[in-house]
Amino acid sequence: MTSAEASTAPTDVDTPSLNTRRRRWTPFASSKRRNGHNDEATGQGRRRQSSQSQDAWWKTKLFSGMMNDIRRRAPYYWSDWKDAWDYRVVPATVYMYFANILPALAFSLDMFERTNGSFGVNEVLLSSVFAAVVFSLFAAQPLVIVGVTGPITVFNYTVYDMMKSRGTNYFAFMAWIGIWSLILHWILAITNSCNLLRYVTRFSCDIFGFYVAFIYLQKGIQVLTLQWEVSEASAYLSISIALMVFMTAYLSSVIGRSTLLQRHVRKFIEDYGTPLTVIFFTGFVHIGKMRGIELLTLPTSKAFSPTPDRGWFIHFWDLSVSDVFLALPFAILLTILFWFDHNVSSLIAQGTEFPLRKPAGFHWDIFLLGLTTGISGLLGIPFPNGLIPQAPFHTQSLCVTRTVSADDEEANKGHGTPQHFVVDHVVEQRFSNLAQGLLTLGTMTGPLLIVLHLIPQAVLAGLFFVMGIQALEANGITLKILFLLRDRHLTARSDPLLGIQRRKAIWVFVALELVGFGATFAITQTVAAIGFPVFILLYIPLRTWGLPRWFEKEELGRLDQPTASAFTMESVGGFHGHGDEEESQSSGSNECNDGVHLTQQQDFSLNIRARLHKISHIAIHFHSRYKTLRPHTTNHLPGLLPPRRVLALLTSISQTGASPK
């Protein structure tokens, strides 16, 4: 664009936001100027308040959320399949197949024992397949992995324990829970209830993610305690196998993030280390004297057949009218759990650390979730929903990284590693989710069920430990605890928490998160476990109206950030309590909070300084060496080097610092 064109170009929507930000950093302006700015800010505040009152969720237009989701995502549907032609899809598919199926198998073992064989391997596999096919083909956000989770496992066997004493038909009762929940999900989708996600921040997501991570660890320990029923030798060998599986699989992820070995070797170990670990230790237990020790394996049934002696369709009419309406409060609890769990999974899978380019659609996905819940109840399989931590792991496995060279780090004065990788983009497509679902369907065949029956339960326990530790490692609560324990002088200067003056505020915030996690985890260990979805939902009003009374606004801006980017949150109307939300949405950027924005500005500044330093370095060397080089007397101007010679010289200096021979 020429200067003349630039002068006549229309003003971009981001220009007012930039001017507004500059005004905030001019506290010593004249009173007349300040008054003018105050009037303008007041007018903007009134317009924002009126727009928010018009967009209030209880005054919203029915079906508008789903229609907007479809309208925004439909133009990308073809590219969702075309963009799958990328190598990252292959390891992501393999990794998610094992990361989804193996914990699901362990959950099936838990439900098999707690529900007297009502749910087994085939039910859990079919639930995962059904959800993967539906969400990969029709969801607005196909990156979210949907399957059987730890919380729904707790829900299923808690309902079984409560209905067993009444003599109620368990599968018919679960079918009516699914039917009622379908209706409730659709009501929530039609009334645009997902607009309430603007109140959900990392405070709620971190507590729930922390809880899910400990559920994985708890299930791993429970699997190992069952081995004492066989013998002490079986128990000790199982513990050893589980720990070796954990250490090997975790080491694979550590190597993938390190600077050891070549890049393609590191990526191979990171992508395929976990499935290869499972395969290796499944055969390892048959070596030497370990062959004579009996180990519990995964119970399986016939191919494509239910575990109990029944058909795939539930006779939901074989239930009394009183029990039909008794299923309604259970359906309400299930709907609350799924609304929060699935949306949090979707938010984390579209977190600010992932530079996504395609729009999200929360309302439409809740509508689909209601459909899968109702049909799952009629089929007599566990209800599927968004998985944590598999959903963010799926997005992470599809990230394409680029190397930040050591020259970019020179301006950082030695802080940080000499070389690191940053996420360039995410391969946003539907194929990997569909492919891992079809692989799971193939697992229901007879030969592969025989193979699954060979996997020791200790291997599944080790995989539980891997999933739990990796989820804890990436959790915001863990990161804040590590910040508090880290030497302040060795903390990265770009860390937003360094801007908090009161260190006590960080301790109090972390303590509140741990109390929330502890209360949730404790209630699931009691007879009141069926009510834990309501307890989880209370995190949202606590964060929205409780924490602002105890913390300053600037402190909350650094302690707690939006889970997803402004671009992702456009589907639900942006963020709550952020004055610049309209600006963020209009720019479509990923800067959601002051801390992240500050970090991005510092990184950009460091990169610019490094580039200028490099250019000046080239110019100085070029000037000093230009005098010693003989000019060509060909068709070029006298005293000047030919273009090819100049290009070779600049390339040589920029790469090695030496002149070309």
Residue 106 confidence (pLDDT):
80
pLDDT tens figures, 215-226: 889 989 988 998
SS3 content of the chain, % helix, strand, coil (to 5): 70, 5, 25
pLDDT tens figures, 547-558: 999 898 888 888
Q: Which two tokens stand for residue 374?
A: 């109702």
Q: Which of 128, 97, 400, 483 shows the shortest CA–CA distance to 274? A: 97
Whether the Cβ atoms of residue 386 and residue 346 lie closer than 8 Å to each other: yes
For the chain, what percent of residues have pLDDT higher than 90? 37
Residue 59 confidence (pLDDT):
61
Whether the Cβ atoms of residue 168 and residue 319 lie closer than 8 Å to each other: yes
Over residues 581-593, the mean pLDDT reads: 38
Could you tell me whether strands 385-386 and 420-426 are parallel, antiparallel, or unpaired per DSSP bridges? unpaired
pLDDT tens figures, 468-484: 998 899 899 999 999 99
For the whole prediction, is pTM greater than 0.85? no
Q: How far apart are CA 189 and CA 457, in angstroms?
A: 40
Whether the Cβ atoms of residue 345 and residue 386 lie closer than 8 Å to each other: yes
Mean predicted lDDT score pLDDT of the chain: 79
pLDDT tens figures, 27-58: 333 343 334 444 444 445 444 444 444 455 45
pLDDT tens figures, 522-552: 988 887 777 778 888 888 899 888 899 989 8
Comparing 597 with 190, the larger pLDDT belongs to: 190
597 — pLDDT class (breaks 50, 70, 90): very low
Contacts of 554 (CB under 8 A, 6+ apart): 499, 500, 594
The b/e string for 342-355 (b: 16+ C-beta within 10 A; e otherwise) is bbbbbbbbbbbebe
Q: At 421, phi and psi to the nearest 5?
A: -115, 140
Q: How far apart are CA 490 and CA 194, in angstroms?
A: 41
pLDDT of residue 611 exceeding 90, the answer is: no
pLDDT tens figures, 226-254: 899 888 999 999 999 999 999 999 999 89
Residue 499 confidence (pLDDT):
85
Q: Which helix (H) or strand (E) holds 437?
A: helix 431-443
pLDDT of residue 363 exceeding 90, the answer is: yes
pLDDT tens figures, 317-351: 989 999 999 999 999 999 999 999 899 899 989 98
Residue 58 confidence (pLDDT):
54
21 — pLDDT class (breaks 50, 70, 90): very low
Strand partners, 25: none
pLDDT tens figures, 440-461: 999 999 899 888 888 898 998 9
Q: Which of 218, 197, 187, 137 shows the shortest CA–CA distance to 345? A: 197
Least confident of 4-13, 114-123, 139-148, 613-622: 4-13
Q: Which two tokens stand for residue 418?
A: 């000499």
pLDDT of residue 189 exceeding 70, the answer is: yes
Residue 99 confidence (pLDDT):
84
Q: Which of 462, 89, 466, 458 shows the shortest CA–CA distance to 271? A: 89
Between helix 202-225 and helix 503-523 the angle, nearest 10°, is: 50
Q: How far apart are CA 646 and CA 626, in angstroms?
A: 10
